[in-house]
A and B are shown apart, each in its own frame.
Chain A
Amino acid sequence: MSPKLVLLLFVRRWHARIGLAAVVFFLFLAATGVVLNHGTGLGLDKRYVHAAWLARWYGIAPESPRHAFRAGRHDLIAANGRWLLDGRISGEKFPQPVGLVELPDMVVVASSASLYIYGNDGALIDRLERSALPGVPVRAIGSGGKQLVLRTGAGTFESRDALSWRPAPRDAIAWSAPADLPAAERERYAQLLEPGISVQQLLLDLHSGRFAGRYGPLVVDLLAAFLATLSLSGAWLFLKRRHRRERH
C-alpha cells in the first residue's frame, strides 16, 4: 500500500471518528450559540431559573427570609432580591425593603433609595428613585393622618401622593417594623424565594464551558480544536478526491 493511500485512509478514519465523538457537543454548541444570538429577542435575560441546587452550584448561598412587613391586609417578605407582596412574587434584583405602608388607595414599599407604589390590586403605579425622594437613605417608612411618612438621612418628610414632600411632625406616626417569621414559614418562604440565575447567563456559561468550572473552557477549547481539525481534514479529503477525478 502506498504511503499516500495510508495517509488518506488514516485521515478519513480519524475524520469520521472525531466527527462521531464530538457530534453531540457540536450540536449543543451550535444550538446554544443560535439561541444566545437571539437571546434578547427571546427575552432570555428576563427569564430566571430558580433552583437551590443551581444556586449552590454557582456558589450562591441562598438567603433565608427572617421577617415580614405587615400593614393592614398586606404583607411583604423579601429574600434573594425577590419580593413576595400579598402572595405575588416580584421580578428579580429588587432592593432590600425597609418597610411597608398601606394608605387609602395605595401600598408603598420603601428601600433605602427607592419607593415602590402599588395599587390595591397589586399593579405598580410608580417607582421613585433617589432623585424623586426628599432625602436618602430612607431609614423608615410610616403613616400618620393618611399621609405617607419617610424618615431619611435629611429629615422626616410626609406626602399624600408621593409627589410633593414637606417636613413632617415627629409624633403620631405608625412606623413600619419587621415581624419575625416562625421557622416553618421561613422554610416555606425560602423555597418560594429561591435565588435565580438568568437563562441567558446559564446558556452563556454552558456554551463557554464555564458552567463546568475551571476546566470547562479548556474542554470547549479542545472541541474548537477538533472542529478546526475536521474542517481541515474534510477540505483535504474533498480536494484529494477532486484531484484524483481530474487525473482520471
Chain B
Amino acid sequence: MNRASLRSLAVLILSLAATAARGEVYQEPGAFVAEVFGAAPAPKVLWLTRDRQAQAAAILGHPPAQLRQRYWSEGRKSVWILEETGKEELITAGFVVVSGHIDHVRVLVYRESRGQEVRQSSFLKQFKDAKLSAGDRLDRNIDGIVGATLSVGAMERMARLALLFDRLSRESAQG
C-alpha cells in the first residue's frame, strides 16, 4: 500500500469537500433581500409546527432541516431564502413571492460540482408567475436540463416550498 498516494487522495477528498462546503457564491443572501426591498426589512419567522413540517416534508420528500424559517415581507411581497440538496450538496436560492405567485428566483450559492446551469435565467424564468395548484404542486411543468436533473428537482421543490411558506405566513398573519 502506497501511503503517499493515499495521503494525496485524502487531501484531495478533504479539499474537494472544503470547496464544496464553501461553494460558488453568486450573491450573498443578505444582498439579495436588500436588492428586493431596497433596504432589508427586519426578518420575520415562520415556525414549523407539526402540521407545517408534514406539509413541507410532503414536498421535500424528507423532514425540513430546521424548525424556524426566516423570511422577509412587505405588503404582499415576501422573500424566502431556502436550501435543498441537489445531488450531494446544498443549493441556496432566493425566491420572491408576490400575492401567491413567484415573481423571480435566483440561485445564490451553488455547491455541487456540476449542474450550475440551473442558475441561468433561461431556466429560472420558467418559475415566473408560477403558483401552487392541487396537491401543493406547481401549476406548470418545469423543463429539465440534461446533466442537472437532481438540481432541477431541488429548485422545483424549493419553489413549491416557498409558495407553501408564503401561503402559511399569510394565513398565520390573518390569524
Contacts and interface: CB of A to CB of B under 8 A. Distances in A.
A58 B9 contact: yes
Contacts of A125: 66-68
A57 B13 CA distance: 13
A67 B170 CA distance: 46
B140 interface: no
B145 interface: no
B9 A59 contact: yes
Interface in A125-176: 125-127, 129-132, 161, 163-164
Contacts of B66: 124-127
Interface in B1-53: 1-3, 5-11, 13-14, 17, 21, 28-31, 42-43, 45
Interface in B57-111: 65-68, 70, 87-88
Contacts, number: 68
A129 B17 CA distance: 18
B2 A213 contact: yes
Q: Is the interface of B mostly helix, strand, loop or mixed?
A: helix
B124 interface: no
A27 B19 CA distance: 34
A132 B6 contact: no
A205 interface: yes
A201 B88 CA distance: 11
A40 B67 contact: no
A45 interface: yes
Contacts of B43: 132, 163-164
B42 A164 contact: yes
A-B interface, 5 closest residue pairs, ranked by CB to CB distance from nearest: A59-B7, A131-B30, A213-B2, A214-B5, A58-B10
17 contacts: A40-B87, A45-B88, A58-B6, A58-B7, A58-B9, A59-B6, A59-B9, A59-B10, A60-B14, A117-B68, A126-B68, A131-B30, A132-B70, A161-B45, A163-B70, A201-B13, A214-B2
Interface of B: 1-3, 5-11, 13-14, 17, 21, 28-31, 42-43, 45, 65-68, 70, 87-88, 150
